[in-house]
Amino acid sequence: CFGRWHPSPRRGLKDAPDKGAHWCGLPLLTGSDVGDTPEYNPDLLDDPQWPCGKHKRVLIFASYMTTVIEYVKPSDLKKDMNETFREKFPHIKLTLSKIRSLKREMRNLSEECSLEPVTVSMAYVYFEKLVLQGKLHKQNRKLCAGACVLLAAKISSDLRRNEVKQLIDKLEERFRFNRRDLIGFEFTVLVALELALYLPENQVLPHYRRLTQQS
Ligand SMILES: *[C@@H]1O[C@H](CO)[C@@H](O)[C@H](O)[C@H]1NC(C)=O
Ligand SMILES: *[C@@H]1O[C@H](CO)[C@@H](O)[C@H](O)[C@H]1NC(C)=O
């Protein structure tokens, strides 16, 4: 099971066995499913037209926007997005907005540490794989995001020792965890990714294109 997915408890909190059991009991997470997990889709979580719910038209036909938008308050649209996402992926414990905002933070701090877009892209792939595996929850989401950036930076950049230290300082400051937890979690993430840190181009490239086009 994934006991380690609960970051080490602080302030004397005990591990919550209930949560662990719930976590491990999800059919999508059992070991025997590993061979059947669908191919990772690098567009799934970034697709601006997804999830399409009942406001599909708003998202797809830009020219209809002004007429349709009158009937759809932006807050409803957001709610629908979260809800559609939850229905489609009941095993994912975070909302789609939260997932996207974590990715923005990953990108922001990577840029501030002068990491290349390709590094951010790789971190995104690691992160989204963990998200889609249903491994993230409220308590570990920042550690996951941080560990993904750190692993991507180590594997794709030729970082010097003091640059790694700088990055860890930044991660620590931004995500407010302590570095001991981060270093421990790095290994957990590595195992969850089945040590597959070198990624096929078709998984990285879509992220890379979006990152370099947006900026
Ligand atoms: C959608 O998710 C975001 C991020 O968690 C949250 O802030 C927002 O309140 C949610 N929207 C609704 C309407 O539930
Ligand atoms: C990161 O976010 C901060 C605060 O929102 C912003 O001031 C800063 O310009 C961003 N940095 C980059 C590189 O996007």
Query: What residue spans define the domains of the chain?
Result: 44-90, 93-214
Pocket flag, ligand 1, residue 100 (CB < 6 Å): no
Between the CA of residue 199 and those of 40, 167, 169, 188, what are the distances in Å? 11, 22, 26, 18
* CA–CA separation, 101 and 95 (whole Å): 10
CATH code of the region 93-214 = 1.10.472.10
pLDDT at 48: 60
Among the atoms of ligand 2, which is closest to the Cα of residue 112?
Answer: 13
- Pick the closest to residue 120 from 138, 133, 108 (CA basis): 108
pLDDT at 62: 46
Cα 171 to averaged position of ligand 1 atoms, centre (Å): 25
The 10s digit of each residue's pLDDT in 39-61 is: 888 888 876 655 544 444 444 44
Pocket flag, ligand 1, residue 73 (CB < 6 Å): no
pLDDT at 7: 47
Nearest CA to ligand 1 atom 12: 79
3-state secondary structure the chain: CCHHHCCCCCCCCCCCHHHHHHHHHCHHHCHHHHHHCCCCCCCCCCCCCCCCCCCHHHHHCHHHHHHHHCCCCHHHHHHHHHHHHHHHCCCCCCCHHHHHHHHHHHHHHHHHCCCCHHHHHHHHHHHHHHHHCCCCCCCCHHHHHHHHHHHHHHHHCCCCHHHHHHHHHHHHHHHCCCHHHHHHHHHHHHHHCCCCCCCCHHHHHHHHHHHHHHC
The answer to whether the predicted template modeling score (pTM) of the entire model surpasses 0.85 is no
pLDDT at 152: 95
pLDDT at 143: 95
Q: What percent of the chain has pLDDT over 90?
A: 47
Among the atoms of ligand 2, which is closest to the Cα of residue 107?
Answer: 14
Cα 167 to averaged position of ligand 1 atoms, centre (Å): 30
The 10s digit of each residue's pLDDT in 164-198 is: 999 999 999 999 999 999 998 999 999 999 889 99
Nearest CA to ligand 2 atom 11: 108
Nearest CA to ligand 2 atom 14: 108
* CA–CA separation, 46 and 210 (whole Å): 9
Q: Is 176 helix (H, G, I), strand (E, B) or coil?
A: coil
pLDDT at 208: 95
Residues of the chain with pLDDT under 50: 1-3, 7-36, 52-70
Pocket flag, ligand 1, residue 98 (CB < 6 Å): yes
pLDDT at 9: 43
pLDDT at 32: 34
CB 189 within 8 A of CB 126: yes
Nearest CA to ligand 1 atom 5: 98
- Closest ligand (CA of 174): 2
